[in-house]
Amino acid sequence: MSHEHEPLVGLNGLIKCKTCGNILPSVEMTISHVSSAYRARKVLENIASAGKYTIIGFHEDFPVYSKNKNGITEEITASKITIRDYRIIKRLISEGAE
Ligand SMILES: [Zn+2]
């Protein structure tokens, strides 16, 4: 599969791709890019406080925030690509999947 899955979240706790129609156990999306680790942490903090996420751990020195909604676990964190490029990641994990 060479496309980036476009997740569609159902109320049944399943994630389906809009493009290929497959049921996805989990999906990872880049929601934005920032130019420093400091900004990445700020963006994460803002999303977490606005969306009422709780911190569950760390990934590459960045906090991992999580919340549950309709049987889907949403996680947000960041990842370093280069010294001037960090991506903000959102992960959706279906509780309906094994
Ligand atoms: Zn797909």
Give how far Cα 8 sits from Cα of 15, 17, 48, 52, 94, Å: 6, 6, 21, 21, 11
Average pLDDT over residues 50-68: 96
CA of 8 to the centre of ligand 1 (A): 10
| pTM beyond 0.75, yes or no | yes
CA of 34 to the centre of ligand 1 (A): 26
CA of 1 to the centre of ligand 1 (A): 7
Looking at residue 9, its pLDDT comes to 85
Average pLDDT over residues 2-13: 84
CA of 29 to the centre of ligand 1 (A): 12
pLDDT digits (tens, 9 = 90+) for 10-46: 878 889 999 999 999 998 989 999 999 999 999 999 9
- Name the token pair of 97: 């999947």
